[in-house]
Amino acid sequence: MNKNHWFSLLLTAWCAACTPTQIALTPSVEIPDAFAETSAGEAADVSRWWLDWQDDTLTELIEAGRLANRDLASAKANLQAARDEAALANADLLPTAVINANAGKSHIHADNPLSAGEQAALSSIGLPVGALHPHGRAQTAGVLVSWEADIFGGKRSDADAAQYAALAVAEQWHGAQILAVAEIADRYLNIRANERRLAVLQTALKNLQELRRYAAGRFQAGQVSDYEMKDVGVRIAQLQAALATVQVQIDAHTRSLAVLTGKTPQDFVLPPSANDILNHIPAPPSGVLPVAVLSRRPDVRAVEMQLQARAAQLASARADLLPRFDVRFLWQNGRIYLSSDLPHLAAWGGAVSAGVSLPIFTGGRIQKQIDAADARVRAALAQYEQSLLNALAEVDNAYQGQFALHQQNQYLSEAQNQTQQQANGADKLFRYGSFTLDKALTARINAADAADRLIQGRLAQAQQLLLLYKALGGGWLPENETQASTQTEAETAAQE
């Protein structure tokens, strides 16, 4: 075999050795083909699920929150810091070069060690005697280049670990987007639901007050007892108390919504909406497959990246058992200028060195580090498998809850219609003297309670749909799409 063949084999072995050690990671969780509770159909896009609600006010709030939410800004800054740290780890793979330069002055006083007689003898033949006082200055400059060749991939594994850690932080940023938009929607839905509750309770209060005025006339005629009149007053007081609580909830959710969208709570006013959002709850996303959900959910992806980082750290620990190679090059140039009675000195030089180190006896330190890194990999793998199982369960739970609440609200809607009809009929019968006041009051209260329960049921259904969006990993956009969306929104705002 000729010299070129040997060189090719050596180069191939060098390049192969510079790759990080691969760690086998095989989760034992079996991923199902479909969810048990979802419906088939074309896969829905849940990245911007709020557009399906067809509520312009909700869309504006969420888009504003994605730009101004402080938690998102903090998560984005943490992501940038993690990326910078990963770049530092990559820098360790490159050679290091240092330029150094020095300049200085010197003054030397040296006494002549000869005796007086010896000095006199030397002086008689014209040689200088006495103390020496030379002055001088020196200038030096040089370059030192060093490089530790990553033959067995230890440094590459460290860089991979840092890169996977940065990717895990990126998934935390994606998760922060999901939480932010879901919280904005939740506050908005709460406000709209309580606004409707407020209207229902105010109508019920108005009806009860009218009923009390009518009953007062019959009380004067002796047709209604004092007990019944006081019962009307108790029902009215209870409704007034409920109204005060509902208004407090509206105000609290409004202030919270202001904070989530980056606004000052004291100056924030929620714009009105042309649509009744609780009467237009979208259908749950269909056609969603487990594999797609697991590949989209930021929490699962973050744990996966952490697992990969642990595997890279294990590979780096194993590389510590192998030799380390380093190459150094030094070039130096300098001049020394002495006083006029002594010669000037100038010199330059260079040196190249190569070294290898192999751990022989470390007291088991390296092996213990490998064992610890291996245990961390196994712990991360178990955590990853747990996140897969949790995600699969959360999706089916969210779908099942959504279907159950949808069915419940159908029954509540039917009950509300019937109780309203009963209340209207009881009013007429009371006015004609066929019903007692307590029956009319009960029918009115039942109608208000049914309407209130329906509103709260629809709110619960809407909130359950938000949980489903989160379980599916909806509500975040890739960074390039986020930047494009931000630019479009900024251009639209500038035009306005």
CA distance 38 to 59: 26
pLDDT of residue 47: 92
Cα-to-chain-centroid distance, residue 368: 34
pLDDT of residue 324: 76
For the domain spanning 20-93+150-323+365-495, the CATH number is 1.20.1600.10
SS3 letters across 378-433: HHHHHHHHHHHHHHHHHHHHHHHHHHHHHHHHHHHHHHHHHHHHHHHHHHHHHHCC
Closest CA to 299 of 205, 217, 383: 383
Cβ(145)–Cβ(138) under 8 Å? no
pLDDT of residue 8: 43
Cβ(347)–Cβ(139) under 8 Å? no
pLDDT of residue 345: 62
pLDDT of residue 428: 84
Report which DSSP code applies to 478: -
Domain coordinates in residue numbering, the chain: 20-93+150-323+365-495
Helix/strand/coil for 66:
helix
pLDDT of residue 495: 46
pLDDT of residue 336: 67
pLDDT of residue 380: 92
Q: Which two tokens stand for residue 428?
A: 């007429």
Max CA distance (Å), the chain: 154
pLDDT of residue 2: 45
pLDDT of residue 293: 93
| Parts of the chain with a pLDDT under 50 | 1-21, 484, 486-496
Quote the pTM value: 0.78
HSE at residue 442, side-chain half, CA atoms within 13 A, is 6
The tens digit of pLDDT for each residue in 147-158 reads: 677 777 777 888
